Structure 1
């Protein structure tokens, strides 16, 4: 009885501790949401704080975004397109490369994987100049492709998929070859579905977050206002001649929506396991 009471007490303490941690983590988001409902004059007077007149809260900033800020939705669409294409292409090619490095024994495999690990240790800032020169040579500056192509095969995704594919049952490959399946058929019909749940779901969230929040590379590649992504477009609202903090904060709140939707669809893959050997019968 005493042990049961002790476990119950520890459970309550753990739950209270986690609730406090969650509130601390959510506090900046809550402040951002409240600030997005405040008029510009209030923001300039008191800044982002709780010391303001709560009766001034309204949805005028959101009304402006939805009815008058046409440029905002252009940036929003650009970010959605770039992020969606980046996620699909990155998962497709990175999973294929990682799978090949894990299950095929070919000359130079270990050297190739060493290069992948090495690139993981190189800061992106060092690679920007040669990448930008490549975009100029290929005439891809100020285009979707110029932003997307350098992110198509992500080293971290290749490393992740390679480590995951090492646990796939090679007996299925041998059985499929005996049945006359091609290597592409084995990958797309057998091995990829085994990898598909947790690995693709987790990488979809990570790659989506990286692409959606990417600021530096699009800033270098993109030139025209109509091609700007959302982080760049919001940054243009802050100028030496005027700062639209009210629209900036409301627009920043709207940027959270796609990330929440992406997480809702794929969050179960962070907690759900996959028995990779389940297809092999004894």
Structure 2
């Protein structure tokens, strides 16, 4: 069983990991609170939430299984070396469980609150169905010889694909409207900070162990942060550089404005049929 060589690096590893957890976790709440206050989900992209649930569910399967299953940990060490540390930390499991819970709550809000004419698209349903069908087929392929580590890599691939797909509608909508109105830059900054902290955490472990297996041995976590940070940079460029003249005034901001801002945004969304994507990771 691998152990830490440096106490300071271990402490920094834990601090960075829980900092990433806090940043990523907080980013879920503004949308949930906004939905509750308005008793409406008008303007929330249902496809985003639907895809996000699959993304976080597959990530939870990967993290929880690799962290708690001794059989899978043995397969990991057989593949990457018996002196290697498991590349999943407690904060990874906590974040995944929290993300699934908050995304499920958002879906419940979609079911019970005013949603206008919005609905989940057939394309999103097809993508999610294909993802879980792939996971089911791979499970039965892995079952005879207990290739659980390979199966976990499949779940990792699913969550990376979902991460890429879920951001695209918002990026395209910003480009088409030449505006980032309705998209919370605060959530993007939190997501960006969490992604950088996640990389820092992985780096601390690699430096301590004198090995880069932590990166390529957990390619899903690596790609998750890479994709998220890349889209965060894109959104920040759109918000601050490409479309600064279209930024929301304080009088129109739903966060600063309370209910008045919400009502203005609702009227704007009723005129603009293109829905905005949910404000979370």
Give yes or no for TM over 0.5: no
TM range (shorter): under 0.3
TM-score, normalization by structure 1? 0.27
Which of structures 1 and 2 has the larger relative contact order (alpha carbons within 8 angstroms, sep 6+)?
2
Quick check: which has more Rg, 1 or 2? Answer: 1
TM-score, normalization by structure 2? 0.27
